[in-house]
Amino acid sequence: MILRPVLRARVPRMARTMHASSLRMHIPKADEMLEKFAEGDRARLAHKREEMMSKYQDKLQAKVAEQGYKSVDDLAHATKKAASEQQVRESAMKAASSPVEHRDAALRLKLQEKRRKSEQAKLDREQDLSSPVQPLSTFMKLEKIVHESPENIGKLWTAFHIMKNKISAVVPAATYAQMVDTAKSFPQFVLPLPRIVKKADEDSEVESGYEVYYLQWIPLPKPADTASNAPAPMAVLFTPLAEYKLRQEYAQPTLVLTHYTDLIESKGIVLLRGDITESDKGKAHIQQKDAQLLTLGLQRFYHIDWALEGLDNDGQADRRRALLRAFYERPTEFRLEELIDASWKV
């Protein structure tokens, strides 16, 4: 048997090399593959986000407007930031505080709140005690006098205060309106109060004298359901002039006259109440008859119709007008003798 060599086809080296290199050129690099995968993920996420945004667009926009943000992204960022900050705070509290410290902190807060409430209650009580002006509902149940006549209301008012040994009066609405008009121009004035003075050298002899009182009109809050053009309720504070000069606004009033206007529109009347203040020992600063004289003097000088000035031929009214003006405009011409004469001369 004759052995013949097997002929093998030779592949050119260059051809094999080109073929292999061409295969390597079609295999993508690792970073390129990752980038393509990332692009695909981003595309899918963006598509999904667009679908969600489209589905809940109205609700998201409403939430953004409610929270005061400019866009949904701002809302999401703020929500994420708040959650992160809350988590940090909670973690810090858990890490830094023991159960004992928690208990002590809670106890301190409780004691501080209790002390604050106690101090506020004390302040409220002091303010209530220091103010002699009380609302009309303190003395009269307004809902029970709706159908009563002004005359019956006046009788009930005066009878109540007679039993309490208090000063009271029922002032017609027109009279009160004139007094308030005068008070707007002359909110401060002085009135003389007659006194009997014993002579220092002879106890058996006495002489007449006067103690001057300083008065001031103070506006009060209007009652509910009162027309805006209705006269406001007013209080008049009387203080001895010597006491007022010494303490000024810190001087304690001796007498407070309060004008209640709750019924000025429905019944055409204003209810007046007088409160005499007491000393620390419970003694009244002035007697009731003195308070009545001051109330009478107030009405004489402030119940004046200024529209009739120079026309009513009332010499006494003109004198009182002149004294009010002199007290404000020409204090150097103000004479106490004229004030005394105009106050008590009938």
| Per-residue pLDDT tens digits for 213-242 | 999 999 998 887 777 788 889 999 999 999
- Predicted TM-score (pTM) of the model is 0.59
Sequence-ordered strand ranges (E) for the chain: 167-172, 188-198, 206-219, 234-240, 255-260, 269-276
**pLDDT at position 107 over 70:** yes
Taking the C-alpha atoms of residue 113 and residue 108, their distance in angstroms, rounded to an integer, is 9
Output the pLDDT for position 290.
92
Residues 117-127, mean pLDDT to the nearest whole number? 58
Q: Which residues of 26-58 are buried (b: 16+ CB within 10 A; e: fewer)?
A: eeeeeeeeeeeeeeeeeeeeeeeeeeeeeeeee
Lowest mean pLDDT, pick from 92-106, 122-136, 175-189, 297-311: 122-136
pLDDT > 70: percent of the chain: 66
Lowest mean pLDDT, pick from 1-10, 120-129, 152-161, 166-175: 1-10
Taking the C-alpha atoms of residue 28 and residue 151, their distance in angstroms, rounded to an integer, is 110
Say how many CA atoms lie within 13 Å of 330 toward its Cβ: 8
**pLDDT at position 16 over 90:** no
Contact 251, 243 (CB under 8 A): yes
Q: How far is CA 36 from CA 30, 95, 198, in A?
A: 10, 45, 117
